Structure 1
Amino acid sequence: MQDSKHTITVEGASVSARLQRPDAARCVIVLGHGAGSNREHATMEEIANALIRRDLAVFRYNFPYSERGSRRIDARPLILATVRAALGRATEIMPDLSVFAGGHSFGGRMTSTVQAQRSIAGLRGMVFCSFPLHPAAKPSIERATHLQGLRIPVLFLSGTRDRLAQPDLLESVCANLSQATLHWLDTADHGYRVLKRRDTEETVFEEMARVTEHWVKGVLETSS
């Protein structure tokens, strides 16, 4: 397996990225992290490692603020430019692989915003781990308005205890998207923490990776 560090230049700043590519990789998934974390956060590590075990390469990157070690999120234009730069770098490094993109929470939402504003050439689909549909205890679908602009397959992997995605609201959003797949992760919260009563031997990360692998395979077969 290839495990390498990379640098992404965006608007005069540099951010780091990590590529983990299994020998039999069938695609690469470019992942942005949650608002209060970075590419090496425990949740990102678990997501990446689970996907890698399913022969899905992962390219995860920092935003400029997380690269600096700051918790103050960058201005929206810089965030979106970073998403585009990361996708461009991943495509440059791996021209032989189909490209998917998304991320955990904020990272997924920003990636979907980029795609809705101006389609990313060659992007095959999007994977949203805990899409933050609304702030905790403030149910709304305003953050989903831009999703109507997506014209590629999208996969939502959300926990049944996620306080940032009320189930009935997320289900209604997905029902109005032409190429959306929604998979519920039993008892998982926004950070994929689960209750002990979870009735399966799979970990939540194993489950999300299995579902992602199956979905990716379907997307690639349908569009080939």
Structure 2
Amino acid sequence: MPATRNVCRALPHISTTVNRMSELLERDGVRGHLHRPTGDAVAGLVLTHGAGSDCDTKLLRAVAEGFADRGVAVLRFDLPFRQRRASGPPHPSKAAEDREGVSAAVAVMRELVSVPVWAGGHSYGGRQASMLAAEHAGLVDALLLLSYPLHPPAKPEKLRTEHLPGLRTPAVVVHGSKDPFATPDEMRSALELIPAPTTLVELEGARHDLAPEKFPVVERAVTAMLDLL
């Protein structure tokens, strides 16, 4: 299996509302913020949130702006469970609907760009994106998984790895060394299950939120993803 590494065109006009650095977008059941790069896009990224937040977190805003600065069109969006209610975690029985939400966002991005399209998210959002990619090979060209929730805190026996052997999409995984959802060694072992090329970006001292104001999560994530082009 592949080893884990450590380490276009202008967008057409769509109906949106401008809000400083991004544009509010509501289309085909997708609700979020579109970040347009200056000039032609080299890739498109759909990016979503974790179980306890929405698409307007500090991390997602920072990542979206960082990618847009490097020529990537970014759509950060709310999953269906968050569109239904403003707070509270997703229900496990509705996870398939959240994956459908990721798929819908990918479809919107495919309409906006004719370059590679990536999908990803923070924690729960990244997990759902990776499960979708395992179910539908070729749906996206690469994955960006921020703080993948390998297991619940203090429950390392409850691994969330069932779909990883079926994942044939290249992935960049950004992980903090103090993340309670996985130790660095646990994460490295899990990524060995993936037959596609993977890049593990380790942030020494970072926790699950990745704290973009303290750690170079944006710079390192952008560099690792652009290396896939």
TM norm structure 1: 0.83
Render the CA deviation track for 1:6-60: whole Å, top value 9, x for unaligned. 2243xxxx34121101114321111111111001122222222232233332111
1:118 to 133, 136, 144: 136
Task: Tell me which of 155, 167, 176 is aligned to 1:138.
Answer: 155
Between Structure 1 and Structure 2, the one with more helix by share is 1
Residue 172 (structure 2) aligns with = 155
Inter-CA distance 141–52: structure 2 relative to 1 (3 Å threshold): farther
Letter in 2 for 1:48: A
Contact 1:54 1:210 in 2 (8 A): no
Instruction: Give 1:199's aligned residue.
Output: none
**TM-score (normalizing by structure 2):** 0.81
Partner residue, 2:186:
169
In the alignment, structure 1 segments of 5+ residues that lack a partner are 195-201
Aligned pair partner of 1:7 in 4, 26, 41: 26
Sort the Cα spacing of 1:213 and 1:42 in 2 relative to 1 into closer, same or farther, 3 A. Answer: closer
Query: Separation in 1 of the partners of 2:132 and 2:138?
Result: 8
Once residues 17 and 42 of structure 1 are traced to their aligned partners in structure 2, the CA distance between those partners, rounded to angstroms, is: 15
Q: Is the 8 A contact 1:54 1:209 kept in 2?
A: no
Contact 1:159 1:188 in 2 (8 A): yes
Q: Matched residues in 2 for 1:56 and 1:187: separation?
A: 28
CA RMSD, Structure 1 to Structure 2 (Å):
2.2
Change (3 A) 1:203 1:18: same
Tell me the percent identity: 31
| Unaligned ranges ≥5, structure 2 | 1-10, 12-20
Which of 54, 58, 62 matches 2:74?
58
Partner of residue 40 from structure 1, selected from 53, 56, 63:
56
Secondary structure of 1:59's counterpart equals strand
